[in-house]
Structure 1
Amino acid sequence: MSVTETARQERVIELRLGPVAHGGHVVARHEGRVVFVRHGIPSELARVALTDADEGAKFWRGDVVEVLEASPHRREHVWDLADSLRAHSEGRLPVGGAEFGHIALDEQRRLKAAVIREQLERLAHLERDIVVEPVPLRPGAADDGGGLAWRTRCSFAVTPEGRLAMHAHRSEELIPITGMPLATDEIDALHLWELDLRGVERVEVAAPASGSAPLVVFTLADGVAPARLTEILDGLDPAVSASAVGSAALGPGAARSPLTVRGRGSVTEHVLGHHYTVTGEGFWQIHRRAPETLVTAVLDALGGVLAAGAQVADLYAGAGLFTAPLAAAVGPGGYVLSVEGSPGTSRDARRTFKRQPEVAVVQGRVERVLRTQGGPGAFDAVVLDPPRAGAGREAVRQLVAAEPKAIAYVACDPASFARDLGWFRDAGWTLGSLRAFDLYPMTHHVESVALLLPPAHAN
C-alpha cells in the first residue's frame, strides 16, 4: 500500500474498500486497523485521504480522492461541490449532505437495505429481507426526480464575507455555494447565494410542498444593526416571507427570539386533507412526499387497531403530522395524546389542534409524560417517531408496561431502531411489517416504518 500526500497535506493510503457501514461509510482495513471511508463503493480500489488518523485511535476516517478500480455502480457526482474527487484535487473538503451522490440510485437503495439488515442482525438478533422503496416526487407519478429536487427545507451557514455556505462533513470548514441540487425548485429560485449576508450567522429556508410562499429565517450575529437586516431584505424576493432571530431585530438589550419581518412567520402544510401550521424553527419532514408516505404507511401498519373511540399516543409528535390522521381515525369519542419535547414545535401543534377536544397536546419529555399518563391499558395504539438517538431504554420499558395492542415505530436511524427493537424483543414483542423508504436520496439516510406487536397479539 502506497502512502502519499495531497495538496491539503493529507496522508493518502491505497485501500481495497469493503462492505457498506452505517453512517455513510464503507469499511476498509490498513495494517489491521479499521478505516471508515466516505465517497467510496464496496469492492473499489481507491486512494484515500485520511481525515482523522490519530495513531492512538481504534479506527481512522478518510475520503476517497482517486479511484483506481471503479465499481460498475459509480457515476459522475450529481453535485460538483460534494464530489470528493474534485474537492480534494482543488485543495478543499467536499460539502456534506450528498455523500452517496456518486452512486447509481438503485445501488444506493441496495446499500441502505444492507445497512438496515446488518443492524437488525447485530443489535436485534433478527434476520429480515429489506427492500428500500423509491418515493415519487409527486402524487400519482412514478418519477423520483433522479434523486434530486426533493428537499423542502434547507439550513445554510454564512461565511465571514457574507456568502451562503455549507459545512464539510465533521468540519468547521465552510464552502460557499451557488446552488443546492437536492433542494426543490422553489428554494433554488430564491438565489440566496446572490445576497450579501454579512451580519447573518445562519439561514433556514422552508418551501412547502403545497406551493405556498417560502419562508426564510435569518439568524443574526450579535451587535448587528437593524439597518443591515433591511439591506438584506431588499435583496430578497418581495413575495417571500421572512423572519429574523437575534437581538438586533428587536432592539438593544432584547433577548434573541424570532421576529417576523415580512409576511408570516410560519408556513401551512397540507397532507391527505389535513392542514398544519409550522413555524420556521419547527420540525417538519424535509422530502416533499415524506409526510404523505409516512402517514399512509403508519395507518396501514396499525390497521384495525385505530377503531372509533380508541385511545392513542403520538410520541415525539413534532408539529402533529401523525396526530391529525390519528384523531380522524378514532373520532370525537376517541383520544389522542400528542407529546413533543421542543417548545416551539409543540406550540405549532397546539395552534393546529386547538379546536379538537379529542387531542391533548403536551410539551415535555416522552419518558416524563408516560410516567404520569402511560399506565397499563392507557393506549390501544402508539405511534413512536423518535429522533436519530431513538426512544431509549426507559421509553421502551414504559411502553412495554403500557401494553398497547400495537406500536408503529417510525425510524430515521437504523442503528437506534435496531437497538430499541432488541429491547422490545427481550420483553416478548415481535416485529410485524417493516417498510423502508428512500426519503433522502444521495445521502446514507433512510426512513422505516415498523409494526411492533406485544406477546398477546403476536402472530
Structure 2
Amino acid sequence: MTGRSRRPGPRRPRARRPRGRSVVGERFEVEVGPVAHGGHCVARVPAGDGGTRVVFVRHAIPGERVVVELTEGTEGDRFWRGDAVEVLAASPDRVPPPCPFSGPDRCGGCDFQHVALPRQRELKAEVVREQLRRLAGLDVDVEVEAVPGDVDGLRWRTRQRFVPLPGGGFGMRKHRSHDVVPVDDCLIAAPGGPSYEVGGHTFRVAAGGFWQVHPGAPQALVTAVLEALAPRPGESALDLYAGVGLFSRFLLDAVGPAGRVVAVEGAPGASALSLENCPGITATAGDVGAVLEADHDEPFDVAVLDPPRAGARRPVVEQVVARGPRAVAYVACDPAALARDLAVFAEHGYRLASLRAFDLFPMTHHVECVALLEKAGSDLR
C-alpha cells in the first residue's frame, strides 16, 4: 500500500481536437451488450458514415433495451459515451437506486446503484474474467466476495472527498466533469473514520496517507495474502509498495525472529511509519523499481506486491522473479493491470495458482483481487 491515495478521483475528459460534428445530446434506442472495464456496458448505434459506433453506456445492465443519450463524442471518434436515460425493457436485476443523487447527469461517484448487489458482484467478476482472458490468456473462474462489515453495500467508505460549496454545504462531481452536484448525504460514506487496528496490531497512518477505505478490507486482504503464501518460520519476505507496513507486520509475525522482512515503499513518510509499525523489518524508501535495481538482490522465499492502479509493470516484475521467490501474492486494484503483469510473470515460469476477488467498493465498478503466483517446480507446502 502506498502512502498516498491510489484510488482515482473523478475522471476528466482529455482535451482533444474535435473530429467533426459533435454528437452530444443525440439519442438512440439500443440493446445493451456486455459489461466492460470502467463501470459501463457496450452498445452499438448507427453512425453518419453508414457504419456503427461503439457507445460506452452508464446506468444500464447487460440485456436491457434503453434509450441512450450521448454525453461525449464527435463524428470522427472511434467510440462515444452515453447515459441510459430511459429504460424500455428492464433487467430483473434493476433496482431503484438507494441514493437520490445517483443517475444520469447526477453524482458520478457510483456506477452500479441501479443494480442489485449480487448482480453487481457478478458484473465485476465478468470484468475480471474478461481482462485475464484477453490480456493474460487465462481462463479463470472468478467469484467476487463480500467482506466483513458490508451492509447492503452502503455506509462503508471511511474516507470521502467532497467539494465545498459557497455558503456552506458540499457536493460531488458529475462523471468525467468538473460540474458539481450538491449532496446532503452520501449513502456510501461511513458515519465514522477508519480504524487502524487489524488482527491485534495497531497501525500509525499519516493524515491523508493511504489506508483501505472499507473497514473490512485490511483484515480480508491480510488473511487472503497469508493463506496464499503460507509463510514459514525462518523464511525471507519481500513486501513491495509496502505503505505503512500492513502486510509486513503479519509477515514478520509468520517468519519469526529467524526470518527477515524487507519493505520497499515510494513515499518516505509511509516508509518511516512502517518501521514504527513493524519493529524489526528492513525498510527502504524510494521508487520500487529503482530500489530493486540497486539493493536487496538476495534471494527471497515469498513476495507481496500491492502496486498502484497502473500495476507493477515489467521492470519490477522481472526484478521480483530474479530473486526467485517460491510464491508471490499480488494485490491488485485494477484487473487490466493485474492481467498485464501476470502475463509477464508467466514468461518467467510463474503460473497463476489461485485468485480471489473482493467487493471492497460496493455500488462502484471497482474490485480488488489477490492473485497467488507459484514458481514452476517450487515446493509450496
Paired residues of 1:281 and 1:345 also in contact (CA < 8 A): no
- 2:240 matched to 1:308? no
**Residues 4-403 of structure 1: matches in 2 within 5 Å?**
10-31=25-46, 32-84=52-104, 93-137=105-149, 144-186=150-192, 207-209=193-195, 269-303=196-230, 306-353=231-278, 356=279, 358-375=280-297, 377-403=298-324
**Residues 435-446 of structure 1: matches in 2 within 5 Å?**
435-446=356-367
Give the Å deviation of 1:172: 0.6
Give the Å deviation of 1:161: 4.3
Name the one with the larger helix percent.
1
Alpha-carbon RMSD across the aligned residues, in angstroms, is 1.5
Distance in 1 separating the partners of 2:247 and 2:163: 31
Paired residues of 1:281 and 1:344 also in contact (CA < 8 A): no
Paired residues of 2:169 and 2:184 also in contact (CA < 8 A): no
Give the Å deviation of 1:10: 2.3
Distance in 1 separating the partners of 2:74 and 2:349: 43
The letter for the 1-side match of 2:56 is: F
SS of equivalent to 2:41? strand
Paired residues of 1:374 and 1:399 also in contact (CA < 8 A): no
The aligned counterpart of 1:4 is none
Distance in 2 separating the partners of 1:136 and 1:329: 23
Distance in 2 separating the partners of 1:33 and 1:342: 43
Task: Indicate how the Cα distance of structure 1 residues 347 and 454 shifts in structure 2: closer, same or farther if over 3 A, else same.
Answer: same
Paired residues of 2:301 and 2:325 also in contact (CA < 8 A): yes
Give the Å deviation of 1:333: 2.3
Query: Normalised by the size of structure 1, how large is the TM-score?
Result: 0.74
Distance in 2 separating the partners of 1:161 and 1:58: 43
Paired residues of 2:109 and 2:172 also in contact (CA < 8 A): no
Q: Choose between structure 1 and 2 for higher RCO, CA contacts under 8 A separated by at least 6 residues.
A: 2
Greater CA deviation, 413-422 or 151-160? 151-160
SS of equivalent to 2:205? strand
The aligned counterpart of 2:19 is none
Deviation per CA, 1:337-374: give whole Å up to 9, x if none: 11111233334323323xx2x30222111101111234
The aligned counterpart of 1:408 is 329
Give the Å deviation of 1:163: 2.9
Give the Å deviation of 1:127: 0.5
Distance in 2 separating the partners of 1:157 and 1:324: 36
SS of equivalent to 1:351? helix
- The number of equivalent residue pairs is 352
Distance in 2 separating the partners of 1:337 and 1:14: 56
SS of equivalent to 2:28? strand
Greater CA deviation, 325-334 or 151-160? 151-160
Name stretches of at least 5 consecutive residues in structure 1 with no aligned partner. 1-8, 85-92, 138-143, 187-206, 210-268
Deviation per CA, 1:1-27: give whole Å up to 9, x if none: xxxxxxxx8222221110000111100
Give the Å deviation of 1:331: 1.5
Distance in 2 separating the partners of 1:151 and 1:287: 5
The letter for the 1-side match of 2:36 is: A
Paired residues of 1:374 and 1:398 also in contact (CA < 8 A): no
The aligned counterpart of 2:21 is none
Give the Å deviation of 1:152: 1.3
Distance in 1 separating the partners of 2:296 and 2:57: 44
Query: Normalised by the size of structure 2, how large is the TM-score?
Result: 0.89
The letter for the 2-side match of 1:437 is: F
Paired residues of 1:430 and 1:458 also in contact (CA < 8 A): no
Deviation per CA, 1:308-335: give whole Å up to 9, x if none: 2211111111121111101111122222
Give the Å deviation of 1:103: 0.2
Distance in 1 separating the partners of 2:107 and 2:308: 24
Distance in 1 separating the partners of 2:25 and 2:379: 54
Say which one has the larger Rg: 1
SS of equivalent to 1:54? coil
Deviation per CA, 1:61-117: give whole Å up to 9, x if none: 111111111111000002111222xxxxxxxx2212211011001101111111111
